[in-house]
Structure 1
Amino acid sequence: MSIPTISPAEARRLIDQGAVLIDVRQPDEHARERIAGARCQPLYSLSEAKLERGTVIFHCRSGMRTAAHAPALAAAAEGPCYILEGGVDGWKKAGFATEINRKAPIDLMRQVQIAAGLLVLLGVLGGLFLTPALFGLAGFVGAGLTFAGLSGFCGMARLLALMPWNRALKPA
């Protein structure tokens, strides 16, 4: 089932008329930056979600995630539903404000990318300048990322989620 995409201006009009704005991103992404009044309802929890009757507007960061999961979004809505064109990025591009919490950590997947990139870089540089055994670090991280992509389980993300700066995250 296809869900119509609406412009940020049309979404603003519908929100002013009582439409509910649902952010399908992860709680850590929502905590860092969000559209005022948006409710965090991550994609993984939509099947058990109780969405209000009435008009619902779904959004993510860029619109790609919502477009890719349109059938699941349509199934979760009990009334008319739309996808916000361009997500949070489109909202900002249209000149609308977002709420930014600079104290919230950057989202977990970006933390994984930073940590994995640094470990690979350290492994390669260490292998070149210290001991070839450190090339194994780069290989280990590469194998872990490949396993994460194939299985859907990312040990590094699980480890980073336990860090103190990530523990206090709760959907807003």
Structure 2
Amino acid sequence: MSVIQYLQQNQKDVRLVPLNPNGTVSAEGLKGMLVPNKINYVVIESANTWMVKTTITALVASLSSFQIQLVVLEPNETLDSDEINFSNLVKLKLMFPSVTRSNLTPEGVAFENKFKKMNSILPSDYASRGFDVTFDTMMRLMQNKSFEETVNTIGTQQYANKFEYAKKEGDGYLNKGVYILYYDSDLTLKVAN
């Protein structure tokens, strides 16, 4: 409900899909809201497996007539259940925010290989984050500017993390760096532009 209230108060141009009396998504109502010849971003905010499944089914059925991309705003365990067909998420190019990304660049592969050679294991998310924070901080400290000047002007990207600092009320900074990822038709995760 809080997401609905937020949208109604702050995103007035966002349209909400009508629900059936039993609380499920109206497939016809949803299809009636889709716009031809334009990407229709459909944000799903539900942990109800039946609602997620019926919504995805309605969206996949509409792909022949409309361009649709499914979006989630935060991790949704329902999408990981056996009842949700992963291939449908790929067809809908599921888009979601993430603080990390896979790095398949030559430099990223070299980092993974070096880490594995030294530690006999691939880097975990915690190891990657630790490396990135340390490396990013060292790079900022080595410039001819104060750390505060660099965080106010320079957004950076390291092995798996992005750093875009914002001043917090009071003391300190907050990293607002986030990736928007999506599943591409080749079953890989890609960074949305």
Whether these two folds match at TM > 0.5 is no
- The normalised TM-score by structure 2 is 0.22
TM-score by length of 1: 0.23
Higher strand proportion: 2
Q: Which has the larger radius of gyration?
A: 2
